[in-house]
Every structure is written in structure tokens, then in C-alpha cells.
A and B are shown apart, each in its own frame.
Chain A
């Protein structure tokens, strides 16, 4: 049988029952489309987190409470619950490593914030003036926290542009305004420049207050969430990491570094950690979408089996006039593959569209990669082969007489 004739037969068969073919294709479209869209969301999250980490600079060390596990580090657990670092640890580090490097501890938590009747839930970072240098914070209006604010345990706040918009309205004047956190009043003394972060690493939706103020009035203890250390130059990073680790192990009376109740991470560690977390996310999203792809494949098999049963007499006739088993098998397999490939093509387009829509409406970064398109297309073809093979094999195996006698 010639390939053009085969394609003709396939086109004829697929268009024979347009509604049924359409619904079967729809199953594949949904499967492939959701794989593309969800993997794009996962990959986008990964990309934006990595970009954020990279933007904080290559000479930053972070000391976090909680232990780093081998092969992965739970950022949220470490930052949220463990309280093994104190201000005294930060002071000791500053004293040991010298003035060439900048040390900035912070105590951060999310709180409800109110101002003139509006309210929002945001990250309150209790910290010191040096924090601005370690995290490249640039002030747009007013000023950042000063040593005087630290000494006087001042009730002052520097807010991010997103927080300003949420509390006072877009681009409204904020300097001198009052905000309340836990019924404690703060005066806004500065607004930072937008950094353009997204999602859960948004550095624009944040409020900075003096560290002692946060510890005394908000958390009520001296626990520290992070100690940021900006090295004078990247070359001194390994030595610095070593020094800080040794110092803290000593201060915490821990002999075995494996049992450390804190973690000292550089940027590469953070990227690896975030990548591990987000690739798990991508995998999970992909797996969920993969299930719908399998359901779509079963739809193909179901339709093809129905088709084979309905066309039993036709198959018998084709065999009687000279079709070989291979001709029949190829035709039915190609019918199934045609459906999945059409579905795959439309699915890729609509998945891409959905990913763009998600970006446009929710601000979440998405990334559709050529790799995921190639993968989806391959998967579509493979589904056509896998789920189409059994019906095609059944059709080819039909005995011509039994097929012709079939009522």
C-alpha cells in the first residue's frame, strides 16, 4: 500500500465521525495543553527564583537557623521555626571577621499591617542599617534606618513600593504617614526603589523596621531569622564561610559539624537549593498534567476499539480484496497517531496560550521551553502508538470470514 493512499484512508476515516474524532482530540489537547502550561509555570518559578537569588550579588553569605540536610535544604522550615540564632551570634560574627565585611542580622515574619483603614499582610523585616548594603536596597524617597533608630528602638518604618501602593494607593505620598503593626504605631521614613521581584520572593512588598524594635515589640525574643554577610570581595568567600561556621559551632558548643543547628549558605548553595525545590514543583505539576494525558490516551484507545468493532465488516471486506494484516494494522495505528498528533499540536498552542494568560493576569513568570514542546509532541506520538497499537492489532487479527459474517 502506498503512503499517499494510506493517508487518504486515514483522512477519510478520521473525518467520518467528526464529533467523535473531535472529542477524542480534545482529550489529548487538554492533556498536552496542561502539561505545557503547568510545566511552564514550574519552570517560570524556577527561573524567577534563580534570577532573584542572582540579583542579590555573588559575594553574599547567608547564615540561617536550622540544619541543612544533605541534598536539599528546607528554607521555610529553617527560617520560620528554628530559633537557634541570636543577635549575640551576629555581634560575634561582626567582631571576628572585621570591618572589611558587612554583617546584617534580621528578624522577619509576616504580620497584618493597617494604615488609615486599609490593611495588608506583609513581611516585616527587623534589621540594621547595614542590611541595605548587603541586599542592595536603594531608597527612592526619604531615608533608610540609621544607627540612631537602632539605639533609640525607634518606631520608624521603611516600606517597599508594593506595600506603599497597597496601604496608601498607587504612588501616594507615604513619608510621615502612620502605619500599625500589632497595634504598635510606626512612622514611615522611607520608600525603597522597585526591584521587580515576583511571587513569594517579592522584595518590593516588605517593611523594614529597626531590629531591636522588632524583637522587643513584635517577636518578644532575641531570635534572628537571617544573618546576611556581604564579603569585601568574592575571593574571600570560602575563608569567610569557614570562619563563620567554626565560630558558630564553637558558640553553640557543637563538636560535629554534621549536627550544626545553623547553615551558612552562599549564592551557589541557594540557587541549588531553590532549584531542587522548584524542580520538585515542576515535576509535581508535570505529573498532575501527565495524568490527564493518560486519560486522553485511554480516550484514544476507547475510540479506536469502538471504531474497530463498528468497522468489522469493512475490515473483512478490505482483507477479502487484498489488504494484508500489515495494511490494516498500519491504517488503524496511523488513525490513532493522527488524532494524537493533531491533539498534540493544538494542545501545545493552547498550553502556550494558557501560560501567557497566566503570566499576563497573575504576574507569575512562566517559561515555555522548546524542550517541553518537543517532549509533549513526542509524548503525543508515543501515546498514539501505545494506545493505538492494541486496537490496530485487534483489527489486523480479525479473520476475513468472521469479519464478513459479522452483523
Chain B
């Protein structure tokens, strides 16, 4: 693994195929005199190539869990093995390096640089990964194609795009470094149903055709049903882990095919 330094030994033998393993993860925030426990005793595994939805009501700790999975935050307690390496207590700059190379994020609010072009937005992870300028173009074009953004939009400024197009740019940005893990926090939350469907279709395609590992966070049962597996979270604890043998197929209705 590119990021595994020799000091970080795997804690336990894991199968080749294991992308994520959480053991007894706990997250607390100090609030005044007491502490709020946001995640308690969260343990699960996600294999490479899985498409998993984490579903729960608002305030149940979904985003907190995603921040820990994405190395944006460290758990208060517990073990997190990412591709076999314990990453729970890495210093900030090492976590930044792993985020840069192994993880792609898609946020509810898109979080694009508004005045920058689509190209520039998608290039940003490559910039921080230190990729040479002349080899970037191919990566960017491949990511934009995979995310399904029509080529005539690539030189637009991102604030000239529709919501669905913006989320596709965000997906392309998440894909451009060819990450092992794609994390999406309520990616359809700011979109209407039809546009949301387009985004879900993109994830399903990335999963089926490119065998990406995808963790999709949502509070909607309907959205979660697009995944192969649904983890139900409530009050910071995993309550159910269900295989979804017949995932809902995202349907692109014609007027929004390429909104």
C-alpha cells in the first residue's frame, strides 16, 4: 500500500479484500461539563468493491462516522484499519496524504470553487497530490467522463452549472485521484428527485463497471435502497446490517438525462 509506513503494522490479519474495518469506534465531544457521545461501539467491515449505504435519521451520527472513515477526524477510541493499516491515530499531515491518494469525497453542498472552471475544480486533488501538470489532463478527462458530465461543459465555470451537473463535477473530483474509497455524504440531499436519480445512477455505474468501493450516506430509505448493503445507524450505534439483494435501479428520465 502506497501510504503504509513500516511503523504501522496491521493489528490483525485481514482478508486481502478488506477495505475498511472498524472495531469499537467511539466518538465523544466535550459539551460544557459533560460529554456528548456521538458514536458508540461502532464495528463493521466493508470489503473492496462493495456499495454500502449508511442510513439513519438526522443527528444519528452519520456525518461524524463519514468524517472518521474519510480521515477528516480521529475517533476518541477504537481501531480503524483502512486497507489493513491502522489509521486511527495518525498525525494530521499523514492523514492529509492518505486523503489525497486513497479517498474521494462527495458532499451534500458540492463544495466546488465557484469561480473556477470545471477543469480547475477537478484538477485540485491532483495539484495537492503533486502530479506533474502535463499528465493531469488525461486523468481529469477520464474522471469527468466517468462522472457523466458532457464535454461541452468542461470549460464552464462551476457556478454556471445546474445542481446535478455540479454534483457530477464533485464526483469527478472525487474520482480523479483514482481513490480506493468513495465517500458520499447525502449527495442527493440538495437535488430534486430526478436529478438525484442521475447521481445515484452514476454511483451504480461506478460500482458495477469500475468496481469502486462506495459508502453512501443518506437519511432516505429510498436512496439507501440503491446500494447492495444498508447499515442502519441510530443514536450513534449500528442497529442493523442488511444485504439488499435486489437494489433499486436508478432510472434516468429523459428530460434530466443530462441536466
Chain A residues within 8 Å of B, Cβ to Cβ: 1-2, 4-5, 9, 12, 16, 313-314, 316-327, 399-401, 404
Contact = CB atoms under 8 A, between A and B. Distances in A.
A404 B107 contact: yes
Given A4-B133, A401-B67, A323 B111 contact: no
A1 to B, nearest CB: 6
B133 to A, nearest CB: 7
A322 B111 contact: no
B101 A322 contact: yes
Among the interface residues B96, B116, B132, which one has the most CB atoms of the partner chain A within 10 A? Answer: B96
Contacts of A313: 111
B11 interface: no
Contact of B128 (A4, A16, A321): A321
Given A322-B101, A324-B96, A401-B67, A1 B107 contact: no
Given A4-B133, A16-B115, A314-B113, A320 B99 contact: yes
B210 interface: no
A321 B72 contact: no
Chain B interface residue count: which class? 20 to 34
B96 A5 contact: no
B73 interface: yes
B80 interface: no
A12 B116 contact: yes
A322 B129 CA distance: 7
B168 interface: no
Main secondary structure of the interface of A (DSSP, over half): helix
Among the interface residues B72, B73, B128, which one has the most CB atoms of the partner chain A within 10 A? Answer: B128
Given A1-B127, A2-B133, A4-B133, A325 B93 contact: yes
The 6 closest A-B pairs by CB, nearest first: A322-B100, A322-B128, A317-B111, A321-B125, A5-B127, A324-B96
A319 B96 contact: yes
B70 interface: yes
Nearest to A400: B72
B110 to A, nearest CB: 10
Contact of B92 (A2, A9, A325): A325
Given A313-B111, A318-B128, A401-B73, A324 B97 contact: yes
Interface string B111-144: 1010110000000110111101100000000000
Contact of A320 (B72, B115, B127): B72
Contacts of A318: 124, 128
Contacts of B100: 321-322
A2 B130 contact: yes
A319 B92 CA distance: 10
Interface in B69-105: 70, 72-73, 92-93, 96-97, 99-101, 105
A174 to B, nearest CB: 72
A280 B116 CA distance: 52
B179 to A, nearest CB: 10
A4 B127 CA distance: 10
B212 interface: no
